[in-house]
Amino acid sequence: MHDLTHFSLADMLEVGSHVRACCNGAESLQAVAQRIVSYLYRDLRDAHGARATAMVRFFLTRPFGALPLPYQEFIRSTHGDESAADDTICLSLMATSGVEPDWNSPSTSRTDLAVPLRDANMIATAPMINALIAQFGVDAASVSRRDQQLLDSRDTFSVFHIAEARGSPYLPSQAEFVQEYDVRSVLGFGGLLPSQDLFAVIVFATVPIERETAELFPPLTLSTKLALAPFAYGPFFSGDSPRTEGPSDAERAWRMATLEQLIDLHESTAIEQSRHLEERVTSEREAREALHRVNERNVEYLRRIRDLNASLAHQVEQLEAVNQELEAFSYSVSHDLRAPLRHLSGFADLLMRQTVDETDTDAKRYVQFIKEASEHAGKLVDDLLSFARMGRTEMRRSRVDMNSLVRLVISELQADIGDRVVTWRIAKLPLIIADPAMIALVVKNLLSNALKYTATREEAIIEIEATRDERETHFSVRDNGIGFDMQYVDKLFKVFQRLHRSEDFAGSGIGLAHVQRIVRRHGGRAWAEGKVGEGATFHFSVPNEAAEVTDGRH
Amino acid sequence: MADIERILLVEDDHKDVELVLSALEENHLANEVLVVRDGEEALDYLYRRSHFRLRRPGNPAVVLLDLKLPKVHGLDVLRQIKSDPHLRSVPVVVLTSSTEEPDLAQSYQFGVNAYVVKPVEFGQFVTALKQIGLFWAVINEPPPGSLRRGAYPGEPETNGEPG
């Protein structure tokens, strides 16, 4: 069994050897032909071992007069008596093997038993035969006339390949044969016998045959020729009378020539195959080497990435350490500042009480300033302390009803509002997952700022809105206050940076930095926009997924 | 009548001492305060040893104890007071700038009676001290063995034996 879809040089040699043996014990050319087609039909398989051919046929041209009676009768009945001249060359079906039981003997085959080739036009009615002849480099008319010169031509064999049977013009019976029996491709090979008869073996395959496979068939053609050689001068048909003389010198010479051709062809095929193999080996080796180089490069990249990661991790560690130090420092300093501030405030107060009766108003004023300054300093220290402390506390995560939270904060700020006219426009705010105390601080900060910077307006209008997308929920607080210059927007969120003169608007300057810190810890962002004289809008966003930006400690 | 020193103030910072005294003065309690400047002195006073060995016997009605003290730390003083059977009934009010969790927790572990953080703003400081002084030295009934307020000569100077 040989796999026609993966036909190799070794396969071809084995099949060729079998084919050459088909003449052993045969008594006619037809018998050899039948053995050859039966063998090919049985032997050629696909990759799964199923039969790869629907039909294999053997054709031979013979003069009408030399045909057996059934053939002659067939021709007369189908083509009329004009074709019944003795020297009309007829293409005859010598042997056949196939799927249908009828296809295993010429006499039972329903297709043409024989076709008279009276002229080129008739040959054209058998398109494949026509094409096969054309590939000899010979024209069809010469075949029908049996030109003497054909006998001398050495290249008297050829291979004919139809890669795609479906829709091929060489196969007229598309529906009833090609589609019905799932014929995919056709391989034809044939040659000329010394009697100037043309033989052709046509293989109708149910698998696609690659061009590389077709290129392996010329030696097979020669092997077929060699198998037919003992009967090159008869007997042709099984009913024919056997030969009386032995092979002539011309016959022997012809056989030798054919053998030599076969050897030459085997050699050149072997050389070609060997060259193909070498090329493949080389290209595979080159591909492997290229891959190896790519791998090495990748390994190098990986190593570099790992190094970079390590140094990055190290830097992060250092940054965290510095951060912790800073926080500890600011915490302890703020803590230690409280005592001196208390003293400042205390003695200023006592001093004030001592001067209460005196008329030195300047002294009283100075002392008042000292007291206020120390109180202010005290508030700053408290802010700093809570700022530093925030970094050390655990973040809580729970659902926060923002509308309730805003209401609470507004009520806490009532003291600052007093009897000012403040219009609150609060939209329906979504729930978020956050640390309630921290977000309350954020809201308090932003609302308190809004109140502060609208203090000069007759009616302060503060609007709170929110939008939500897949990733985050975004809040905005807009006021109609004095606004700020966008040029300095970056400074807004930095600690102790202020954009207005301190006597106009009291404030510690730490609030927005704190806001940003808290928002960032939640994984969100804070930003602002404003226009001088036209108010400001402060924004902050919180991710919908409770994601905490860790600083490595919690 | 002699002013009995019923309030023991343990405070090392002289400015804080002055502020506390002037605050207590608003309730006329300044005269009843004895000031010691470190933890060792506080214990010497309470145990009537070293240069306090000749003081009249009797416990203060309240101890105002700062934590950041030289020689012996405030928490140590507190621990000793509260683990001594003769002293543990003495009310101790920690009066400190520290808001540290551990200090707070430890103090209550040792059995402090009150923990007050000194406000930065003087007005609030005064109010707090007035309230502390008023409560512990006037309103509260001190434990037995405490020095009595305004005893006449001949009257017992303490309200019974310490427990």
Q: What is the pLDDT of residues A236-255, one digit of tens each?
A: 888 888 877 777 888 888 88
Residue segments in chain B with a per-residue pLDDT below the cut of 70: 1-3, 150-155, 161-163
Residue A493 and residue A509 in contact, taking contact as beta carbons nearer than 8 Å: no
Residues in contact with A77: Cβ distance below 8 Å, sequence separation at least 6, in sequence order: none
Residues in contact with A161: Cβ distance below 8 Å, sequence separation at least 6, in sequence order: A185, A186, A187, A188, A209, A211, A214
pLDDT at A146: 59
Q: Which residues of B21-57 are buried (b: 16+ CB within 10 A; e: fewer)?
A: bbbbbeeebbebbbbbbbbbbbbbbbeeeeebeeeee
C-alpha A82: how far from chain center: 66
**Distance in angstroms (rounded) separating the CA atoms of residues B57 and B47:** 9
Nearest-by-CA chain A residue for B98: A335
Q: Is the pLDDT of residue A541 over 90?
A: yes
Q: Of A506, A490, A401, whose CA–CA distance to A448 is shortest? A: A506
Looking at per-residue pLDDT, the higher value among A390 and A44 belongs to A44
* First-last CA distance in chain B: 26
Grouping H, G, I as helix, E, B as strand and the rest as coil, residue A57 is strand
Q: What percent of chain A is predicted at pLDDT more than 70?
A: 88
pLDDT at B41: 93
Grouping H, G, I as helix, E, B as strand and the rest as coil, residue A285 is helix
Q: CB contact, 8 Å: B19 with chain A?
A: yes
pLDDT at A493: 77
Q: Is the pLDDT of residue A503 over 60?
A: no
- Report ipTM (2 d.p.): 0.74
**Beta strand pairing status for A53-63 and A198-205?**
antiparallel
pLDDT at A357: 67
**Residue count of chain B:** 163
Q: What is the pLDDT of residues A350-396, one digit of tens each?
A: 888 877 666 677 888 888 888 888 888 887 787 777 777 776 677 78
Q: Of A326, A414, A348, whose CA–CA distance to B120 is shortest? A: A348
What mean pLDDT, rounded, does chain A reach?
Answer: 84
pLDDT at B93: 94
Q: Is the pLDDT of residue A152 over 80?
A: no
* Contacts with B30 from chain A: Cβ below 8 Å: none
Residue B92 and residue B59 in contact, taking contact as beta carbons nearer than 8 Å: no
Q: What is the pLDDT of residues A112-136, one digit of tens each?
A: 788 777 766 766 767 777 776 676 5
**Beta strand pairing status for A536-543 and A472-479?**
antiparallel
Q: What is the pLDDT of residues A82-111, one digit of tens each?
A: 767 888 888 889 999 999 888 888 888 766
Nearest-CA distance A496 → chain B (Å): 21
Residue A191 and residue A156 in contact, taking contact as beta carbons nearer than 8 Å: yes
Nearest-by-CA chain A residue for B14: A343
Q: What is the pLDDT of residues A331-352, one digit of tens each?
A: 788 778 888 888 888 888 888 8
Q: Please count the residue pairs, one from chain A and one from chain B, whose beta carbons lie less than 8 angstroms apart.
A: 50
Q: Is the pLDDT of residue A282 over 60?
A: yes
The interface residues of chain B toward chain A in range 62-101, judged by CB-CB distance below 8 A, are 97-99
Q: Does this model's pTM top 0.90?
A: no
Q: Is the pLDDT of residue A279 over 90?
A: yes
Nearest to B120 among A342, A347, A350 (CB): A342
pLDDT at A501: 56
**Distance in angstroms (rounded) separating the CA atoms of residues A231 and A384:** 115
- The phi and psi torsions of A453 (rounded to 5 degrees) equal -85, 0
Span A467-493, average pLDDT: 88
Span A135-155, average pLDDT: 56
Cβ <8 Å between B15 and A350? no
**Distance in angstroms (rounded) separating the CA atoms of residues B91 and B78:** 10
pLDDT at A139: 62
Q: Is the pLDDT of residue A553 over 60?
A: no
* Contacts with B13 from chain A: Cβ below 8 Å: 339
H runs (alpha helix) in B57-162? 74-83, 101-110, 122-133
Cβ <8 Å between B98 and A378? no
H runs (alpha helix) in chain B? 14-25, 39-47, 74-83, 101-110, 122-133
CA-to-CA separations, A117 to A100, A180, A471, in angstroms, rounded? 28, 29, 83
pLDDT at A154: 47
Q: Token pair for residue A533?
A: 């004289």
Task: Tell me which of A338, A342, A375 to substitute to probe the interface with B (most B C-beta atoms closer than 10 Å).
Answer: A342
Q: What single letter denotes the amino acid at residue A189? A: F
Task: Tell me which of A345, A347, A370, A382 to substitute to probe the interface with B (most B C-beta atoms closer than 10 Å).
Answer: A345
Nearest-CA distance A523 → chain B (Å): 28
Q: What single letter denotes the amino acid at residue A371? A: K
The interface residues of chain A toward chain B in range 372-401, judged by CB-CB distance below 8 A, are 374-375, 378, 381-382, 385
CB atoms within 10 A of CB B133: 26
* pLDDT level of residue A502 (50, 70, 90 thresholds): low
A187-A17-A245 Cα angle (round to 5):
100
Q: What is the pLDDT of residues A214-242, one digit of tens each?
A: 888 888 888 999 999 888 887 888 888 88
Residue where the block lists tokens 């991790």: A313
Q: Token pair for residue B115?
A: 């923990």
Task: Tell me which of B122, B124, B126, B130 to substitute to probe the interface with A (most A C-beta atoms closer than 10 Å).
Answer: B122
Q: Is the pLDDT of residue A285 over 60?
A: yes
pLDDT at A547: 53
Span A268-290, average pLDDT: 91
A103-A106-A110 Cα angle (round to 5):
60
pLDDT at B162: 61
String of DSSP letters for A491-524: HHTSTT--SS-TTTS---S-HHHHHHHHHHHTT-
Cβ <8 Å between B125 and A346? yes
Cβ <8 Å between B122 and A339? no
Q: Of A343, A321, A264, A330, whose CA–CA distance to A513 is shortest? A: A330
Q: Token pair for residue A351?
A: 């001093």
pLDDT at B2: 47
Cβ <8 Å between B125 and A382? no
pLDDT at B17: 92
Grouping H, G, I as helix, E, B as strand and the rest as coil, residue A210 is coil
CB atoms within 10 A of CB A551: 15
Q: Of A24, A29, A26, whose CA–CA distance to A236 is shortest? A: A29
* pLDDT level of residue A498 (50, 70, 90 thresholds): low
